[in-house]
Homo-oligomer: A and B are copies of this chain.
């Protein structure tokens, strides 16, 4: 669907919201007072709040980036009381519409509106963050077992559901995901015959890439049945079953000793209360000499709980940690030294832009199979995440580490980029 199609789509949705508004009660004085409060709250962002009668108290000096259309009184109250949660809830339910593009509006809100984080909120986030083995499985099931066919609608060919690496900014999502898999392998300096444990392997793309291109033996852990089934079939089809073993178990039950530990996009689901067990896993399973590991995760500059709506609807139990939390609570107690950190947040912004485009193109299929509320929830989740990475509200860290006694896996980092220059020799453009 092109830009015209999307415009038509928004116009149609807008009409629907306005139709509903006509049916709603008239706007009264308390509504106007409350709308004014909400408008002032979001005012640092040039976003116009519009009530169900078309009225607005927007008074910004800039032309608004876009408008938030509020369909009824209940939605307005939700926004006033708990915007963090009710923006998403209302959008999902179709009682809130966004004019001017969902991503740009959410991006300017993210960049400019400070969401007050109460102690109660933080406490609640802390209490609900306990991922016991059973709960971890349930939380993973909530998100990752939606059905492989759902993710096949909008992920890349390899089904890589983490930040891609656009080695060249113009490359396709397919290529950028393969580039990411390879970047991880190069940072880990994999050598043929080495043993690798992967914690949280998704649909198996990294495990297969490591085995196929670097000749390592991989034990890949996952608690998502749907993903495992897919990954095993694929390994068998590609003749890699001898090198890659997909294990239906929690990463905390990893046993044995390995040359390499790798985890891409799982740490966000571990939860602060279980960092100690991850530290123990690292201490237990990484070879003290020559061992090394890589954690790839969504992170923060400052600790704060995940957005309440994302936490309720999309990622129950998730928590993106700060670098300090990871080094202090996982790597240091695990006896690990940080060797290398790279922040790839803009690569995640672009990855999410690709996903959003593909998701929009699959709009009708998603609506038919999962319903409109689900489709709207995911649309908002993808746009909101893109905004978070675009604005620096969220970070994407790749951290390479080694057991303290062990030398860094490479003398400099030049070798990681050598392949890039070998493929595109200097001067050849």
Contact = CB atoms under 8 A, between A and B. Distances in A.
A413 B417 contact: yes
A177 to B, nearest CB: 15
Interface stretch (A113-121, A152-160, A259-267, A341-349): A341-349
A345 to B, nearest CB: 7
B301 A337 contact: yes
Interface stretch (A74-82, A85-93, A131-139, A420-428): A420-428
A179 to B, nearest CB: 10
Interface in A307-354: 322-325, 327-328, 331-332, 336-343, 345-346
A407 interface: yes
Contact of A425 (B301, B414, B426): B426
Q: How many copies does the complex hold?
A: 2
A2 interface: no
Contacts of A323: 323-324, 327, 338
Interface string A401-429: 00011111001111011101110011100
A51 B72 CA distance: 88
B411 A301 contact: no
Q: Ordered nearest first, which 4 A-B pairs have the shortest CB separation?
A: A341-B341, A324-B324, A324-B328, A392-B404
Given A301-B336, A339-B342, 16 more contacts: A111-B405, A301-B332, A302-B332, A323-B327, A324-B327, A324-B328, A337-B343, A340-B341, A345-B408, A392-B406, A413-B416, A414-B421, A417-B418, A417-B421, A422-B427, A425-B425
